[in-house]
Amino acid sequence: AGISSYNSQRTREAADILKQLGTPCIIHQPSYSMLNRWVEDDGLLDTLEGLGVGSIVFTPLAQGMLTDKYLGGIPEGSRASQGKSLRPAFINDKTIANIKALNAIAGRRGQTLAQMALAWVLRKGRVTSALIGASRPEQVEDCVGALKALDFSDAELAEIDTYARESDINLWAASAERKGPPRK
C-alpha cells in the first residue's frame, strides 16, 4: 500500500496499521522540492528510511518554477497566469531573481534548472523517484538528463540553499490553505 502527504508521526501510525493488517506500506508520496522542504523539517525522510518505505515525491519542479518557464516572469497560459495550482503572487521580483540565481548554478553544473532541481531531490538516495508531470516529450528527455549529475559539492548545496531556502515560498502552505494542513 502507499500513502501521501502524511507527516512523520502519521506515517509511523499508518505503517503500523498497515502492518497489523498484513499489508506493508511500501511507498509514500509527499510534495518536495528545493523550494518546499517540509519533509526535511518534519523528519519525514528519516522516518521513511527507518521504516524501509520508499518515497516518490510530487512537485519536485515546484509547479514549473524550477524550470526555465518563469525566468522572464509569468508567461501567458501558464499555471500562474491562470491562477490554478500556482499562485501568481509567488512569481514576484524576488522569486524571479532567486530562480535566475538557481538557473546560473545549474548552468555551471552543465544542467538545466529542471535537471538540477530533480538531481537535488534525488541526490541522497532517500527519494526513490520523482514525479515530473511533463506535458511534452522534450520535457521528459530534459528531465532524464538529471541522472547524469546527481552529486553536489558542499559549496553548491550551500549556494542553492541561499536562493531556495530563503525564497519565502512554501507550496505546501499554499496547498494547506485549500485542503488542510499536513496530517498530524
pLDDT tens digit string along 1-49? Answer: 999 999 999 999 999 999 999 999 999 999 999 988 889 889 999 999 9
Distance, in Å, from the CA atom of 34 to the CA atom of 40, rounded to the nearest integer, reads 11
**Confidence class of residue 183 from pLDDT cuts 50, 70 and 90?**
very low
**Please, what is the end-to-end C-alpha distance for the chain in angstroms?**
19
Q: Which residue has the higher pLDDT, 182 or 101?
A: 101
Domain spans, the chain: 2-179
Domain 2-179, what fold?
Answer: TIM Barrel (3.20.20)
Distance, in Å, from the CA atom of 63 to the CA atom of 87, rounded to the nearest integer, reads 10
pLDDT, tens digit (0-9, with 9 covering 90-100), for 80-131: 777 766 676 777 888 889 999 999 999 999 999 999 999 999 998 889 999 9
Distance, in Å, from the CA atom of 158 to the CA atom of 100, rounded to the nearest integer, reads 16
Query: C-alpha grid cell for residue 19?
Result: 502492518
| Alpha-carbon 110 to chain mean position | 21
What pLDDT does residue 174 have? 46
Phi then psi for 55, rounded to 5 degrees?
-135, 120
Predicted model pTM: 0.86
What pLDDT does residue 91 have? 77
pLDDT at 63 over 80: yes
4: CB partners within 8 A, 6+ apart: 28, 29, 30
**Confidence class of residue 151 from pLDDT cuts 50, 70 and 90?**
very high
35: CB partners within 8 A, 6+ apart: 62, 65, 66, 164, 167, 169, 170, 171
Supply the mean pLDDT for the chain: 87
Distance, in Å, from the CA atom of 156 to the CA atom of 120, rounded to the nearest integer, reads 10
